[in-house]
């Protein structure tokens, strides 16, 4: 009796928040998941343990997404050990909130190194390595559309990321590889909730017509659809997963 070939998914920033939910969901869907992390070794190990405890397959690999040599080495290891790469989800990102007038430019440079250069590096490496039937998914933000004050630097970086992935989808013509972006609205992660009062959280939860914050699992479900068999006809799109925010 033949067995199905191993399917490999690499999730950058895969050890925390939305990235962790994506990692666990793809593992539940049968992927061997490479949980990439920049520095959170304990969180990555905990994510791998959670996946393995549920009967899935995972490994943690450290790499700075903005370092092309580190990303290439990570994917070289995956290809050597597992034979190829089928899915790359670029969830790693950095947030710095400030008005444009007061934005610290060193913080801006650090944010853009991760969010713009990092997206470009990961997309570039994925373009060389994804197998036929594969998928690339980038993560953006619905604030690109809602344009909330103090998000100027972040929105600039995520707008750039959206544009890159739309072009990538066209450049992968003939490869049977899709490229899409998921842009979450307010999602109840540790990073999002940190520093907010309960009053602020309650107000944000009322913004979508569904009147709640998103859950990391909500975003992971959209990603799982895009990289699964039912999402093969969706390509070159930004999906705003935000409960109906305008």
* DSSP-assigned states of every residue in 173-237: TTS--EEEEEEE-SB--HHHHTT--HHHHHHHHTSSTT-S-B-HHHHHHHHHHHHSGGGTT--S-
Considering the candidates 136, 151, 154, 192, report the single residue annotated as catalytic: 154
> What pLDDT score was predicted for residue 3?
64
Domain membership flag for residue 203: no
Three-state secondary structure call for residue 243: coil
Domain membership flag for residue 209: no
Among 179, 181, 196, 189, residue whose Cα is nearest residue 217: 189
Domain membership flag for residue 32: yes
- Calculate mean pLDDT across residues 81-87: 96
Domains in the chain: how many in total?
1
> What pLDDT score was predicted for residue 236?
98
**What pTM value is reported for the model?**
0.95
> What pLDDT score was predicted for residue 193?
84
Is 242 exposed, middle or buried (CB count within 10 Å of its CB: 0-12, 13-18, 19+)? buried
Q: How many CB atoms lie within 10 A of CB 101?
A: 6
Domain membership flag for residue 98: yes
Q: Is the pLDDT of residue 1 over 50?
A: no
Domain membership flag for residue 194: no
105-112 and 152-171 are packed helices; what angle lies between their axes, rounded to 10 degrees? 20
> What pLDDT score was predicted for residue 40?
77
Domain membership flag for residue 206: no
Which of 36-40, 58-62, 88-92, 219-223 is least confident?
A: 36-40
How many Å apart are CA 11 and CA 72, to the nearest integer?
14
Domain span including residue 27: 8-186+215-239
pLDDT band at 39 (very low <50, low <70, confident <90, very high): confident
Domain membership flag for residue 40: yes
Largest Cα–Cα distance in the chain?
A: 65
- Asked about 151 being catalytic, the answer comes back as no
Q: What CATH number should be reported for the domain holding residue 57?
A: 3.40.50.720
- Calculate mean pLDDT across residues 147-172: 96
Domain membership flag for residue 87: yes
């Amino acid at each position: 009796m033949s067995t199905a070939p191993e399917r490999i998914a690499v999730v950058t920033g895969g050890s925390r928040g939305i990235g962790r939910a994506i990692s666990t969901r793809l593992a539940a869907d049968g992927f061997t998941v490479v949980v990439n992390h920049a520095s959170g070794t304990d969180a990555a190990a905990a994510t791998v343990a959670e996946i393995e405890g549920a009967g899935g397959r995972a490994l943690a690999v450290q790499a700075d997404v903005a370092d092309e040599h580190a990303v290439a080495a990570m994917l070289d290891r995956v290809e050597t050990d597992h034979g190829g790469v089928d899915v790359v989800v670029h969830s790693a990102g950095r947030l710095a909130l400030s008005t444009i007038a007061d934005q610290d430019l060193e913080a801006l440079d650090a944010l853009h190194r991760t969010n713009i250069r990092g997206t470009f590096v990961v997309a570039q490496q994925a373009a060389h390595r994804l197998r036929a039937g594969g998928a690339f998914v980038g993560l953006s933000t619905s604030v690109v559309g809602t344009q909330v004050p103090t998000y100027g630097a972040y929105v600039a970086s995520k707008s750039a990321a959206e544009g890159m992935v739309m072009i990538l989808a066209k450049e992968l013509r003939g490869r049977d590889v899709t490229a899409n972006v998921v842009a979450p609205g307010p999602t109840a992660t540790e990073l999002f909730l940190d520093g907010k009062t309960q009053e602020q959280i309650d107000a944000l939860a009322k913004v979508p017509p569904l009147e709640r914050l998103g859950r990391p699992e909500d975003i992971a479900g959209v990603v799982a659809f895009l990289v699964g068999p039912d999402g093969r006809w969706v390509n070159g799109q930004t999906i705003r997963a935000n409960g109906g925010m305008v």
